[in-house]
Copies of this chain bind each other. A is one copy, B any other.
Amino acid sequence: MTLTDNRQPTTDNFQFRLHSVDPGCAARRSTFITPHGPVELPAFMPVGTLGTVKGLEIGQLRATGTQIVLANAYHLALRPGEEVVRDLGGLHRFMGWDGPILTDSGGFQLYSLAKMTQVAEEKAHFRSHVDGRPLELSPERAIAIQEALGSDVAMVLDHVVPLPNEPEVVRDAAERTIRWADRCRRAATRKDQALFAILQGGLDRDLRLMSARELAAMDFAGYAVGGLSVGESPDEMYRTLDATVPALPADRPRYLMGVGRPEDILEAIRRGIDLFDCVLPTRNGRNAMAFTDRGPLKLRNLQHQRDPRPLEPGCPCPACLRSRGYIRHLFAAGQMLGPILLSIHNVTYYQRLMADARAAISAGRFEDFRQTKLDGWRAARDE
C-alpha cells in the first residue's frame, strides 16, 4: 500500500482490530474504535437521516443494541443547516446520541432525491428536494458540512449512477469518484473524524478493481462499496462483491452502502464486508411489516386480529411484550404506536442478527449460521 503525505490520521483516534476470519468463508470479526467508542463488526447502522432514527427515542435506539448510527450530510445541510447543528454542540449533542456516528456525504441523494442534478468535475449543481432552491455540492463542501456536523466517520463525495447504464457513464462516474476522494482527503482537517473512501464502478469488475487500487493507495481509514442496490439483481450485487472485496485493504473496515435485506447482509458478510446501513427496518416498520426468523409478517392483515403471540418469540423488544393482535389493532386504528413499535422491533431484529453473526464468526461457524437463517426465512415462504 502506498502511503501519501496526506495519510488519514487513524492511529490515535481510530483503530481497526481484526480478531478472526471465519475458516469457511471470508467473514471477519473485528472492532473499529472511534472517539465515541468501539463498534463491534460486522455491524448494522440504523438510518438517522435528519438526526433521528424515525420514530425511536434515543433510549429506545440504544436498547435495540445499536452501536453506531448513520446520518446524512445532504439532508442536515438543507435542514436545519450544518451551522445550526454545529452551534447546538455538534451532531452528537444535537440528537442526544453519545455513540459513534457516520455521516454519508450526499452523493447518493444527488442521485436519488435532488432535482435536476448536473454533475460537473468541479462540483454538482442541483435543486433542493425540499424547496427547489439551487444548490451546489463539491467534495470540499461535503467535507466542510461533515466537519461542522462532527461525525466520527465522514464519507467522501461520490458520483452515483443508476444501473443498468452505458459503460462510459459508469466509467466516468467511477473515475470522478476517485478524483473527488482525493480532493476530500486533502480538504479534511479534523483529527477526530475518519474519512472513508467510496468505490463506484457499477458491475464492471475492472472499474471496481481499479477503484480499489487507486483508493487504497490514498490510504483511507475505511473503504465503502457504493453504487449497489441501485437497480441490479441480488446475484449481480454478490458477483460484484466477489470481485471487489478481496481487493480492499484487509486492515481497514469495509462498508457496503445502503444494503439491505437480511439475506443480502449475510451474503455480504461472508464475502468480507463489515459494515451496513439500510432504511428497511424502519421504513418497513412504518408500513406494518415485521422481520422475523420465519420471514416477514404483515401486521395489517386480519389474520392477526386475535393472535396472542408476540412477533418473534424470545425477542426482548417492547413490541414483543405485546400480542400481534394489539399491533394489528394499532395499525388498523391508525395509531402512532404501531409504526413506533414495529420500527423498534425491526431494528432490534437486525441488531440481534448482527450480534448472532458476530458470535458465529468468532465460533468459526458462520456458514452454518447463515444457512440456518436462510432455511427459516425460506420455510416461511413455502408454508
A87 interface residue (CB < 8 Å to B):
yes
* 291-350 of chain A: CB within 8 A of chain B: 305-306, 308, 318, 321-323, 325-326, 328-330, 332-333, 335-337, 339-341, 344
**Contact between A306 and B88, CB atoms less than 8 A apart:** yes
In this complex, the member of A51, A57, A96, A306 whose beta carbon has the largest number of chain B beta carbons within 10 angstroms is A57
**Contact between B306 and A87, CB atoms less than 8 A apart:** yes
In this complex, how many residues of chain A approach chain B with their Cβ under 8 Å: the count is 42
A60 interface residue (CB < 8 Å to B):
yes
**Contact between B336 and A51, CB atoms less than 8 A apart:** no
Chain B residues, Cβ within 8 Å of A151: none
- The count of identical subunits is 2
**Contact between B335 and A54, CB atoms less than 8 A apart:** yes
> What's the minimum C-beta distance from A284 to chain B, rounded to whole angstroms?
15
Q: List 29 A-B contacts (CB under 8 A).
A: A50-B329, A51-B326, A51-B329, A52-B330, A52-B335, A52-B336, A54-B336, A55-B340, A57-B60, A57-B337, A57-B341, A57-B344, A75-B333, A79-B332, A80-B325, A80-B328, A80-B332, A80-B333, A84-B305, A84-B329, A87-B308, A89-B323, A93-B323, A94-B325, A95-B326, A96-B322, A96-B326, A336-B339, A340-B340
User: A residues within 8 Å of B by Cβ?
Assistant: 50-52, 54-60, 75, 79-80, 84, 87-89, 93-96, 305-306, 308, 318, 321-323, 325-326, 328-330, 332-333, 335-337, 339-341, 344
